[in-house]
Every structure is written in structure tokens, then in C-alpha cells.
């Protein structure tokens, strides 16, 4: 049975309960089922610390911590600074929208919510994130291939290092497969060469021993001993 890929995780942040309810219902009609809510900025940061989200829909005007502050916190956080944020704003808050975009927001969503605009902007943000995530994974996999090459040079290569990369269906995956196969062939040849070297060392040792024996047996002293030994063997026994 084929597993269904999980849908994107969305976080809706708005202090107005009616706005939250309306937005959630429209998102669910668009088949976004993994939707979490936060009543204010502090709760939003707590939710973001608990799990990963693919998109945040963030109201600008909220008590205690407004949308600007939340956005600044996200952009200053190494883990969260790439999470796309759509600012929720009233039509008469154009200047605040510009400020949010300058602070790093991906887009804005005017109130009251228009279904067509909601679908377009949420879909566009999620698509951009999907492509960005793919690019990040690609660069990470390239780094793994580079590390594997360094490991091969240092005689520390393990084929399992590239299993995940080789599972890709693109050119990088093919490269990883070819690299792994070649690395295994190189390792096999090196192992065979080491065995041959070991055999050669043994043969060299045998030759050296034979030469040493030959050098000893060819000396005048050894020849004289051999003659004495033959003479003793030929002497009749009484």
C-alpha cells in the first residue's frame, strides 16, 4: 500500500476568534487539514518552538506582541528564519504591509478573506517553500557526495554514506550510484592488490632465505664440513 505524503503544516495566528475560525474553515475547504492556531504572538512563538511549520499566517495588529515583533523574532532565529510568513492585514493597513514585506514577510492577505486570493497566495508560498526545500536537500546531498570523495581518498569510504543520495531519481542520484559502484570496485582492487603484495612479500622472504642458505652452503668452510660428513658416512663400521 502506498503511503500518502503528509500535507503542509500551517499556523494561523490571530487574536480575533472569528477571524481564526473563518480562516481555518476556508483553509480546510482548500484541503489544508494540518492547521494549528495561536491566539497571540507569544503563543505563536511557543507553537513554532514545539514543531515545524511550512507556513505561518500572521495577523499584524495583536495585543502584547504584534505581528512585527513576531516576524522579527522569526527572522532572527536560525531555525525559523526561512519559514514563510503571510501577514494578515486590513485593507487600510497598506503601509504596515510594506513594513512587513521589508521585515521579510513572503506575502500578505487582506481582510476580509477572499477565497481566490487566499488560495493563490497560500499555494504560491507553499510552492516556493517546496522548491527551496528541494534546493537545500540537493545542496546537502552534493555535500555528502563531496564528503564521500574525501573519505575515499582517505581510505575511509563506506558505501552506506551515499545510500540516501543514490535513492534520488535525478542526475545527482545517478552520480551517487556510479560513484558508489566505482568506489567499491576501487576498494576491491586495492584489497586484491594488498593480497598480491602479501604473497609477493612471502615469496621475497623465501628467496632471501634461500639466498642466505645458498651463501652459507657455498663457503669453503661449509664445503669442508660436507666432505668430512661424507667421509664419516663412508668409513666402515666395525
Give 58-75 pLDDT, tens digit per residue: 998 888 898 899 999 999
User: 36-74 burial, b for 16+ CB within 10 Å, e for fewer?
Assistant: bbbebbebbbebbeeeebbbbbbbbebeebbbbebbebb
Q: pLDDT: is 125 or 181 the higher one?
A: 125
Tally Cβ neighbours within 10 Å of residue 156.
10
How many whole angstroms separate alpha carbon 4 and alpha carbon 195?
Answer: 50
**Neighbouring-strand partners of residue 90:** 111
- How many helices (H) and strands (E) the chain has is answered by 8, 5
Q: pTM score, two decimals?
A: 0.66
Q: pLDDT: is 106 or 135 the higher one?
A: 106
Q: Does domain 10-135 have CATH number 3.40.50.2300?
A: yes
What is the pLDDT, as a whole number, of residue 164?
76
Inter-residue contact 152 to 161 (CB < 8 Å)? no
**Neighbouring-strand partners of residue 109:** 88
Strands 10-13 and 35-38 come out as: parallel
26, three cell numbers: 476556508
> Which of 21-35, 145-159, 165-179, 220-234: highest mean pLDDT?
21-35
What is the pLDDT, as a whole number, of residue 206?
67
In this structure, what are the phi and psi dihedrals at residue 45, rounded to the nearest 5 degrees?
-65, -35
What is the pLDDT, as a whole number, of residue 198?
78
What is the pLDDT, as a whole number, of residue 2?
42
pLDDT over 70 at 153, yes or no: no
SS3 11: strand
How many whole angstroms separate alpha carbon 105 and alpha carbon 97?
Answer: 9
What element of type H or E holds 146? helix 115-153
Q: What is the mean pLDDT of the chain?
A: 80
| Closest CA relative to residue 10, chosen from 65, 40, 48 | 48
Amino acid at each position: 500500500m502506498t503511503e500518502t505524503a503528509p500535507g503542509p503544516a500551517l499556523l494561523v495566528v490571530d487574536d480575533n476568534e472569528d477571524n481564526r475560525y473563518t480562516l481555518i474553515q476556508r483553509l480546510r475547504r482548500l484541503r489544508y487539514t494540518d492547521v494549528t492556531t495561536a491566539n497571540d504572538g507569544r503563543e505563536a512563538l511557543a507553537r513554532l518552538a514545539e514543531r515545524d511549520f511550512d507556513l505561518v499566517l500572521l495577523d499584524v495588529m495583536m495585543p502584547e506582541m504584534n505581528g512585527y515583533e513576531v516576524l522579527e523574532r522569526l527572522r532572527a532565529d536560525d531555525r525559523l528564519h526561512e519559514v514563510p510568513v503571510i501577514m494578515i492585514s486590513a485593507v487600510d493597513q497598506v503601509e504596515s504591509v510594506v513594513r512587513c514585506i521589508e521585515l521579510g514577510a513572503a506575502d500578505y492577505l487582506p481582510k476580509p478573506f477572499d477565497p481566490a486570493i487566499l488560495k493563490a497566495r497560500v499555494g504560491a508560498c507553499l510552492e516556493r517553500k517546496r522548491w527551496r526545500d528541494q534546493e537545500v536537500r540537493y545542496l546537502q546531498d552534493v555535500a555528502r557526495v563531496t564528503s564521500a570523495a574525501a573519505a575515499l581518498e582517505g581510505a575511509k569510504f563506506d558505501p552506506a554514506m551515499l545510500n540516501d543520495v543514490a535513492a534520488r531519481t535525478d542526475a545527482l542520484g545517478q552520480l551517487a550510484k556510479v560513484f558508489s559502484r566505482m568506489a567499491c570496485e576501487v576498494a576491491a582492487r586495492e584489497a586484491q592488490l594488498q593480497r598480491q603484495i602479501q604473497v609477493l612479500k612471502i615469496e621475497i622472504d623465501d628467496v632471501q632465505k634461500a639466498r642466505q642458505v645458498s651463501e652459507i652452503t657455498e663457503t669453503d668452510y661449509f664445503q669442508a664440513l660436507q666432505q668430512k660428513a661424507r667421509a664419516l658416512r663412508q668409513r666402515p663400521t666395525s
